Amino acid sequence: MPNRSALLLEKLWNVLISLKLAVIVILSLAITLSVATVIESMHDTKTAQYFVYRAAWFYGLLSVLGLNILAVALSRLPWKRRHIPFLLAHAGILMILAGSWLTYVNGVDGSLLISEGEMNSAVELDELVLVSKRGEEVRTVPFPWMPASVAKSFKPREFPELGIRIERYVADAERVTRYFPADGSNPEAAPAVQVRVLGAPMGGAPEFWLFGGDPGSASQKLGPARFLIRKEEQKDLEAPSVAQGSDEASEARLDFIVSKSGALRFQAVSVRGEKKSGSVDLKTLQAREEPVIVDPGWKMPIRLQVKSFLPSALMETRYVERKVKPVGMGTAQPEPAIEISMAGNPASRLWLGLGDRANFQDQNGNPATAGYFPKRLLLPYGLRLERFEMTTNPGTNDPATYSSRVQVVDQFQKTEADLRSLPVHHITMNEPLEWKGYTFYQSSYVPEIPRPTTTILSVNYDPGRGLKYWGSVLLILGSVALYLAKTVKKKKTKELQNA
């Protein structure tokens, strides 16, 4: 038996140090990287990462390359002076592979969203998780993104520890919302109004619903104006807050107010605090003989067309595969959505987009919450966005360059005087900010009118960067030394032949 084991080890060793294995691995890597480049150009980076760069088999291939290089270096023992160029080159490759592995295991690659005047320290990572909360107990389970080609064959998956089941998965999701009349006795019912904003400053004629039953849908901000819907018994409209040292507010507001009898009126306030109110002609709206126009009386040329009104409505949300892909600067990567059902109740289906959460009752009737979020990492400090700056190409609205002016806040309890005394760092598309091991790159922004005020920074922490840099240096030195050694040897051989 010992002889047989020794024979197997010897065969394995001969395979590891063979030139044939090196050729096969290097050729396989070349083909793999070529295919990955094609996938990335045809789809996106996330798809290439899913199939190649972050796949287990790809790291297995790199591991075989590392074992082959290490075995070949050890096979030259005892090393001599003439082996130095050879060893430098091989050590460089091993350091690059080790640094890449360290980056994969402990590195951070995510994004940080900050609005002007605000601070954020929560980095959203590429890793996605399902979160369930029952009472005080919170559980998290990884549920990674997958491309559309894989999502088409997705089969329902159970998560007993969370008490939920994923019924459907959409890789690149587009939200579709429907509002329909409901019985006023339904506790979830709320008023809804569909409006179209008319006016040049809005950049066209945006159309949207305002729904009082969902905090995220009850208010809509477009440029310098905010639109809301509320019931008459709720808090009255107040003038927008005015910044210190200014005579004007930062935004105008218009509230649609629904009475107990189902009547609809509006109350508007300008940035100067000027108010105007009136009623909406529901008879004309129901007859649909002519447009129902609301004029808030603002100096900016904005009017609203009321297209539909439901005094008592419910909202139904679902997600479908996006047909038109977003292009250009400021657009986001594909975001997934899932349809889930509760354990023991397959009929209790609801959709969760990335970043959504929903309240429900578990099979025992106890309240619970389910969510679908990017995994987050809290930095030991925060970044505050002082101002987002963007220039456009002459004669167009296309962005030419954009950058962020940020402050690094080590302590979260800072007075305004403290914040003003902090240095301002300028992050541009070609000049990142490096701070305590993390690098912040200007990545994108959230499109807003009249100008973007929310920046998106890419956050990178690479613990293997030093190994990769020094490995590259050793690889170059070793390659140059090998070339020089061969040149000198060839020259000496030629001189001996001519002697």
HSE toward the beta carbon, residue 237, CA cutoff 13 A:
26
Per-residue pLDDT at 37 exceeds 70: yes
Segment 391-410 shows an average pLDDT of: 87
Query: Structure pTM?
Result: 0.76
Nearest to 434 by CA among 469, 460, 405: 460
Pair type for strands 157-159 and 164-170: antiparallel
Q: Do the beta carbons of residue 335 and residue 172 sit within 8 Å?
A: yes
Amino acid identity, position 30: A
Locate the DSSP E strands across 218-302: 219-222, 225-231, 252-258, 264-269, 275-279, 292-294
The rounded Cα 296 to chain-centroid distance in angstroms is: 37
Per-residue pLDDT at 386 exceeds 70: yes
The rounded Cα 40 to chain-centroid distance in angstroms is: 17
CA 402 – CA 399 distance, rounded (Å): 7
pLDDT classification of 244: cutoffs 50, 70, 90: very low
Which residues are bridge partners to 350 per DSSP? Answer: 340
CA 374 – CA 131 distance, rounded (Å): 10
Pair type for strands 190-198 and 303-321: antiparallel
pLDDT classification of 288: cutoffs 50, 70, 90: confident
Q: Do the beta carbons of residue 217 and residue 199 sit within 8 Å?
A: no
What pLDDT, on a 0 to 100 scale, did the predictor assign at position 248? Answer: 53
Q: Do the beta carbons of residue 49 and residue 36 sit within 8 Å?
A: no
Which 3 state secondary structure label does DSSP give 476? helix
Instruction: Please write the tens of the pLDDT for every residue from 452-475.
Output: 889 999 999 999 999 999 999 999
Q: What is the DSSP string of 347-398?
A: EEEEEEETTEEEEEE-TTS-EEEEEEEEEEEEEEEEEEEEEEEEEE-TTS--
Residue 482 backbone dihedrals phi, psi, to 5 degrees: -65, -40
Per-residue pLDDT at 197 exceeds 60: yes
Residue 169 neighbours by CB under 8 Å, 6+ apart: 146, 151, 154, 336, 337, 338, 339
Q: Do the beta carbons of residue 405 and residue 424 sit within 8 Å?
A: yes
> What whole-number percentage of the chain has pLDDT above 90?
62
What burial class does residue 430 get, using C-beta atoms within 10 Å of its C-beta: 0-12 exposed, 13-18 middle, 19+ buried? exposed
Instruction: Please write the tens of the pLDDT for every residue from 359-385.
Output: 877 777 778 889 999 999 999 999 999
Instruction: Please write the tens of the pLDDT for every residue from 198-236.
Output: 875 545 678 999 999 888 899 998 878 899 999 988 766
Amino acid identity, position 56: A
pLDDT classification of 394: cutoffs 50, 70, 90: confident
- Nearest-Å Rg of the Cα atoms of the chain is 31
What pLDDT, on a 0 to 100 scale, did the predictor assign at position 498? Answer: 78
What pLDDT, on a 0 to 100 scale, did the predictor assign at position 446? Answer: 87
Per-residue pLDDT at 313 exceeds 80: yes
Residue that has been written with the tokens 């796949």 in this structure: 55
Per-residue pLDDT at 346 exceeds 90: no
What does the mean pLDDT of the chain come to? 88
Helix (H) or strand (E) holding 289: none
Helix (H) or strand (E) holding 199: none
Which residues are bridge partners to 373 per DSSP? Answer: 129
Instruction: Please write the tens of the pLDDT for every residue from 56-110.
Output: 999 999 999 999 999 999 999 999 999 999 999 999 999 999 999 999 999 999 9
Segment 134-146 shows an average pLDDT of: 90
Q: How far is CA 473 from CA 71, 102, 463, in A?
A: 22, 18, 17
What pLDDT, on a 0 to 100 scale, did the predictor assign at position 43? Answer: 86
Amino acid identity, position 148: A
Per-residue pLDDT at 409 exceeds 50: yes
Instruction: Please write the tens of the pLDDT for every residue from 324-343.
Output: 665 444 445 678 999 998 87
pLDDT classification of 185: cutoffs 50, 70, 90: confident
> What whole-number percentage of the chain has pLDDT above 70?
92
pLDDT classification of 249: cutoffs 50, 70, 90: low
